[in-house]
């Protein structure tokens, strides 16, 4: 069975995946428990209709057909071809020597489980428990691929670590699992690009990402997702930030039929800070149900949420946010801003911010705006020679720019190009 | 160059008639000042010439070098070489003035402009206008002061090198020194390129710096009197009461 598993997820298949990956007993148990939870848990009732996902008709494990080896600073093929994950399994960049010598680990999740069992077991599943939600349970049962990153104490990795995920097989589920640990005072930037080309039928992507930033560590996690438009993208991303640590999620969501993704940060100790910035585009038949969750669990923690969404041709964007400040978290600061841009009257933007503050000595601000492209703006730009399309495109780029300009140059250019294609 | 005959226009939505028959001919190398009380239709004339969708033409014609302007969209008019400096420049968040200059310049020339040369030119004109280089990284008109917006309009004018320039109250919002700076740049551009200029203003003040060849007085959607610079001086002294019945 080199090419793939039969359709549907069963206990036997879970055992099979685990055996094939030569996993230790505890991981098999973990998968089986998660499978039980997945089977028992109903679909979430909020968000959007998920009843069309036919779990029995999906393929849960695919072995990669091609092995592609690239260097650490792998050149990328417009988010598509080469890189870390090809279909389910990860093919890893060889680590830059001096980083490897410092003890930096950048591996596929399965090989990290083999090579670094202790550090793996100590952290795996501690941020996103297997019973967190139906799709986290599914991932915990069927995971394959993903990245494992460990940065030792006081080590700073300058270049971003990059991974590319892609779905090539139709009716395939992709369940990569990523775990990033930055030890005390360490710094890292991890970037992932996701694509799926022209799948004729619906597919499911249910990833889990866990991040742990220990005392004084800094982690930036950047995602550019451009799934094809029949993919359900249901992802659980969560981070723990310890004393004076900083975690920042930067999430750009294009493509997919439905995305449900709410990167979260638990600010667990004094001085921790977090930032969640996102940009979403929804066109015809698409729903980006995305958001951000921040939990202030210690004093003097700070957070910032910036959400920008663009809707076109009846596309729908939903911002779903949670901001919680526990009692006793004095000196907490948070700023939330949600801006939606609607390109026509058919398109939709919803905002559901949940803010619960149980402490008085805090500063929490929330602002939300919905804007449309104004006739006066179009006329102004056209009076300088831009065609109507160019004018719309400039306004959209201007709207998205505060997020896009934070990306490395080539990613920024690529994202601008993708946005232009969408609004054409 | 520009020939307007009996031009009539109304608002597209409310069908409120504003321009009631404008006649005006402007040639290259001429500066025409248009003055007139608030609400007389000066801005409407400017915007109608540029093709604003909020106004529809109900009669008459406007030709630019023989070509019917009224049939083509604003961007095509811009490409023919018409430039409108706005009374109230519009804010476009996230699009920087610098990048916008390049985007709009590139709509004119087939071959993309040499970036080094282009930047030099922008730098020189910005300096003429006392615009700080950092201002080029600023979002187009967003949160800019009235004077900054007007200077940015003139910067765009000089870079785009239009043949017909329509400036709608370029002097409002400028302090005395800024007015001199802006007028100096307009004069430089006029001398070097000899475009046609239509200058809408309320005040004699700017005409002390930019001397028009013709002055027209507009009232209730019509040009009711035309003359030379003397007309503006008379207006400044006496107000509109002697001109409008
Ligand atoms: N889009 C519009 N909808 C409704 N009425 C309009 C519209 N545009 C202009 N008007 C009306 O048309 C008249 C002329 O307006 P316009 O702005 O052209 O005057 P103006 O001469 O430029 O005045 P000012 O000196 O105050 O700038 C005014 O009564 C104005 O209220
Ligand atoms: Mg006006």
Compute the distance between CA of residue B18 and CA of residue B12 in angstroms, rounded to an integer. 11
Closest approach of A112 to chain B, Cα-based (Å): 43
Mean pLDDT check: name the lowest of A231-240, A410-419, B63-72, B153-162: A410-419
Please name the member of B73, B91, B94 whose beta carbon is closest to the beta carbon of A382.
B73
Other Cβ atoms closer than 10 A to A78: 14
- Ligand with smallest separation from the Cα of B35: 1
Q: How far is the CA of A73 from the centre of ligand 2 (A)?
A: 57
Average pLDDT over residues A236-249: 98
Domain ranges of chain B: 2-238
Q: Give the residue from B75, B100, B161 with the most A CB atoms within 10 Å of its CB, the best one to mutate.
A: B75
Average pLDDT over residues B65-91: 96
Other Cβ atoms closer than 10 A to A77: 12
What confidence tens digit (pLDDT) does each residue in B187-231 have?
Answer: 999 999 999 999 999 988 999 999 999 999 999 999 999 999 899
Note the pTM of the prediction, 2 decimals. 0.88
Average pLDDT over residues A42-46: 87
Compute the distance between CA of residue A387 and CA of residue A376 in angstroms, rounded to an integer. 14
Neighbours of ion ligand 2 (CB under 5 A): B 42-43, 87
Closest residue by CA, ligand 1 atom 26: B38
Please name the member of B86, B92, B156 whose beta carbon is closest to the beta carbon of A398.
B92
A36 in Cβ contact with A19 (< 8 Å):
no
Paired tokens of A198: 């022209």
Confidence band of A49 (pLDDT split at 50, 70, 90): confident
Compute the distance between CA of residue A55 and CA of residue A138 in angstroms, rounded to an integer. 10
Q: Is B99 exposed, middle or buried (0-12, 13-18, 19+ CB in 10 A)?
A: middle
| CATH H-level superfamily of B2-238 | P-loop containing nucleotide triphosphate hydrolases (3.40.50.300)
**Is the predicted pLDDT of residue A79 greater than 50, yes or no?**
no
A176 in Cβ contact with A136 (< 8 Å):
no
What confidence tens digit (pLDDT) does each residue in A205-226 have?
Answer: 899 999 999 999 999 999 998 8
pLDDT of residue A200: 60
The mean predicted confidence, pLDDT, of chain A is 87
**Is the predicted pLDDT of residue A312 greater than 80, yes or no?**
yes
Enumerate residues 6+ apart whose C-beta is below 8 A from A20.
A61
Average pLDDT over residues A133-150: 94
Residue B141's SS3 state is: coil
Q: Is A289 exposed, middle or buried (0-12, 13-18, 19+ CB in 10 A)?
A: buried
Q: Indicate whether this complex's ipTM tops 0.85.
A: yes
Residues with CB under 6 A from ligand 1: B 11, 14, 16, 18, 36, 38-44, 54, 87
Phi, psi of A143, deg, nearest 5: -55, 150
Compute the distance between CA of residue B161 and CA of residue B135 in angstroms, rounded to an integer. 21
pLDDT of residue A5: 57
Percentage of residues in chain A with pLDDT exceeding 90?
A: 67
Query: Cβ of B95 and A387 within 8 Å?
Result: no
Query: Cβ of B74 and A382 within 8 Å?
Result: yes
Please name the member of A375, A383, A397 whose beta carbon is closest to the beta carbon of B94.
A397
Placement of tokens 């698409």 in the chain: A286
Contact list in A for residue B91 (CB cut-off 8 A) is 377
Compute the distance between CA of residue B69 and CA of residue B166 in angstroms, rounded to an integer. 14
Handedness of CA A10, A15, A16, A20 (dihedral sign): positive
Query: Cβ of A379 and B53 within 8 Å?
Result: yes
Pocket test for ligand 1, best of B8, B9, B11, B18 (most atoms within 8 A of CB): B18
Query: Cβ of B107 and A383 within 8 Å?
Result: no
**Is the predicted pLDDT of residue A309 greater than 80, yes or no?**
yes
């Amino acid at each position: 069975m080199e090419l793939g598993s039969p359709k549907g997820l069963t206990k036997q298949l879970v055992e099979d995946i685990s055996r094939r990956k030569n996993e230790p007993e505890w991981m098999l148990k973990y998968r089986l428990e998660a499978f039980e939870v997945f089977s028992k848990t109903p679909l979430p009732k909020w968000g959007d209709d998920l009843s069309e996902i036919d779990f029995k008709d999906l393929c849960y494990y695919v072995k990669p057909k091609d092995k592609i080896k690239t260097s650490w600073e792998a050149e990328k093929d417009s988010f598509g071809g080469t890189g870390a994950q090809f279909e389910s399994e990860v093919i890893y960049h060889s680590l830059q020597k001096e980083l490897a010598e410092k003890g930096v680990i950048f591996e596929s999740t399965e090989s990290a489980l083999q090579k670094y069992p202790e550090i793996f077991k100590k952290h795996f599943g501690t941020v996103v428990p297997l019973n967190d939600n139906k799709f986290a349970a599914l991932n915990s049962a069927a995971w394959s691929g993903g990245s494992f990153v460990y940065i030792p104490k006081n080590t700073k990795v300058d270049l971003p670590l990059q991974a590319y995920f892609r779905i090539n097989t139709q009716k395939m589920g992709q369940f990569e699992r990523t775990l990033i640990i930055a030890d005390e005072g360490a710094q890292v930037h991890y970037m992932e690009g996701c694509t799926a080309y022209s799948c004729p039928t619906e597919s499911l992507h249910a990833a889990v990402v866990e991040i742990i930033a220990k005392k004084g560590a800094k982690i930036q996690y950047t995602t550019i997702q451009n799934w094809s438009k029949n993919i359900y993208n249901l992802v659980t991303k969560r981070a723990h930030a310890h004393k004076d640590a900083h975690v920042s999620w930067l999430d750009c969501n294009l493509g997919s039929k439905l995305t449900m993704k709410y990167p979260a940060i638990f600010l667990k100790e004094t001085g921790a800070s977090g930032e969640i910035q996102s940009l979403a585009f929804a066109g015809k038949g698409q729903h980006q149900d995305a958001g951000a969750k921040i939990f202030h669990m210690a004093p003097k923690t700070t957070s910032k949420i910036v959400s920008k969404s663009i809707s076109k041709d009846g596309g729908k964007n939903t911002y779903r946010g949670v901001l919680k400040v526990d009692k006793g978290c004095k000196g907490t600061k948070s700023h939330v801003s949600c801006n939606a841009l609607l390109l026509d009257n058919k398109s939709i933007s919803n905002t559901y911010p949940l803010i619960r503050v149980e402490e008085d000595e805090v500063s929490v601000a929330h602002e939300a705006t919905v804007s449309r492209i104004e006739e006066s703006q179009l006329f102004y730009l056209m009076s300088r020679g831009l065609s109507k399309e160019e004018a719309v495109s400039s306004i959209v780029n201007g709207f998205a720019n505060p997020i896009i300009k934070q990306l490395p140059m080539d990613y920024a250019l690529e994202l601008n190009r993708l946005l232009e294609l969408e609004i054409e | 160059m520009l020939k307007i005959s009996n031009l009539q226009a109304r608002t597209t939505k409310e069908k409120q008639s504003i321009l009631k028959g404008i006649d005006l001919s402007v040639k290259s190398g001429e500066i025409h000042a248009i003055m007139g009380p608030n609400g007389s239709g000066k801005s409407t004339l400017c915007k109608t010439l540029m093709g604003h969708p909020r106004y529809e033409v109900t009669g008459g014609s406007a030709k630019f070098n023989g070509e019917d302007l009224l049939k083509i969209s604003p961007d095509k008019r811009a490409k023919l070489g018409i430039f409108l400096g706005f009374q109230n420049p519009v804010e476009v968040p996230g699009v920087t003035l610098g990048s916008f200059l390049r985007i709009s310049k590139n709509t004119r020339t087939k071959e993309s402009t040499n970036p080094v040369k282009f930047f030099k030119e922008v730098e020189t004109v910005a300096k003429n206008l006392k615009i700080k280089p950092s201002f080029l990284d600023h979002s187009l008109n967003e949160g800019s002061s009235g004077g900054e917006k007007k200077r940015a309009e003139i910067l765009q004018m000089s870079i785009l090198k239009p043949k017909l320039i329509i400036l709608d109250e370029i002097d409002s919002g400028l302090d005395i020194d800024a007015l001199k700076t802006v007028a100096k740049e307009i004069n430089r551009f006029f001398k070097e390129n000899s475009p046609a200029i239509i200058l809408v203003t309320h005040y004699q003040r700017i005409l002390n710096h930019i001397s028009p060849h013709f002055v027209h007085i507009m009232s209730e959607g019509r040009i009711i009197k035309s003359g030379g610079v003397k007309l503006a001086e008379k207006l400044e002294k006496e107000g509109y009461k002697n001109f409008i019945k």
